[in-house]
């Protein structure tokens, strides 16, 4: 995986990045698509394969903070209050990514030939949003005292599978044991989920600034919904404790 691509995606997943910097980083990600691949990005399945390969390559480098670091970065918050803050902030970040993509697309409308790069922009935005959401899942696991075990590569595989399934990490799920690579079934699941997200992100191409507004709103809503599902899943399965209280599997 290109270290520049990993660095740009990791930076874009951080909170508090200024809008102009988000646009610059998004352009940098889009610019990492090999020229020979640009034409294939018009085919959704080909775009999904590139996105899946990119997410799999970048995931080990996404900075997931442990509980102690999270509490230090968020004024000592813990438990549900900390989880609320993480979901809120991640939703704001993905909304910002959508707005950045929409802003770039608005400029593209003024120069028709550059619309040929639209699928590349959509793929870059999708990968960036997924990186933010993978980070959110990993940090929610920390908050609910169910940290994802393993090496960096193993944790990445487990978080990718959790994102693909839109739920918290479950060590009992087939294929998440000792392996550090995505199996065929898991990779297909990831591609299918990315394809659905890619299709939704086509709103980024709305004329003028309407694309930015709609894409930002849809990204925020999707990330919020994901965060809620992951939290419900972790509570329901009851593995671990939150705020010092052990929750049984009941």
CA 103, 17, 227, 152 dihedral sign is: positive
Q: Which residues contact 229 (CB under 8 A, 6 or more apart)?
A: 166, 167
More confident residue, 250 or 180: 180
More confident residue, 246 or 89: 89
Model's pTM, two decimal places?
Answer: 0.84
User: Is the predicted pLDDT of residue 104 greater than 60, yes or no?
Assistant: yes
Per-residue pLDDT band for 202 (boundaries 50, 70, 90) equals low
Per-residue pLDDT band for 135 (boundaries 50, 70, 90) equals very high
Contact 57, 1 (CB under 8 A): yes
Q: Using one digit for the tens of pLDDT, what is the confidence trace for 9-65?
A: 888 888 888 988 988 888 888 877 765 566 666 677 888 888 899 999 999 999 999
CA 48 to mean position of chain CA atoms: 14
- Domain coordinates in residue numbering, the chain: 3-236
């Amino acid at each position: 995986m290109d270290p520049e691509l990993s660095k740009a995606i990791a930076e874009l997943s951080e909170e508090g990045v200024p809008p102009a910097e988000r646009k610059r980083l998004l352009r940098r990600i889009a610019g990492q698509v090999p020229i020979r691949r640009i034409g294939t990005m018009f085919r959704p399945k080909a775009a999904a394969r590139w996105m899946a390969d990119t997410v799999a390559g970048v995931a080990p480098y996404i900075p997931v903070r442990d509980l102690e670091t999270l509490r230090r970065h968020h004024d000592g918050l813990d438990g549900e209050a900390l989880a609320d803050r993480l979901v809120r902030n991640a939703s704001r970040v993905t909304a910002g990514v959508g707005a950045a993509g929409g802003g770039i697309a608005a400029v593209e409308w003024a120069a028709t030939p550059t619309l040929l790069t639209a699928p590349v922009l959509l793929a870059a935005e999708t990968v960036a949003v997924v990186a933010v959401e993978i980070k959110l899942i990993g940090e929610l696991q920390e908050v609910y005292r169910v940290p994802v075990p393993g090496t960096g590569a193993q944790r990445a595989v487990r978080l990718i599978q959790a994102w693909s399934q839109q739920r918290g990490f479950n060590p009992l799920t087939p294929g998440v044991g000792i392996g550090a690579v995505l199996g065929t079934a898991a990779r297909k699941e990831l591609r299918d989920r990315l394809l659905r997200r890619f299709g939704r992100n086509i709103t980024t191409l709305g004329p003028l600034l309407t694309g930015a507004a709609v894409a930002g709103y849809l990204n925020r809503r999707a990330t919020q919904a994901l965060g809620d599902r992951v939290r419900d899943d972790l509570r329901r399965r009851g593995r671990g404790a939150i705020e010092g209280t052990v929750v049984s599997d009941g």
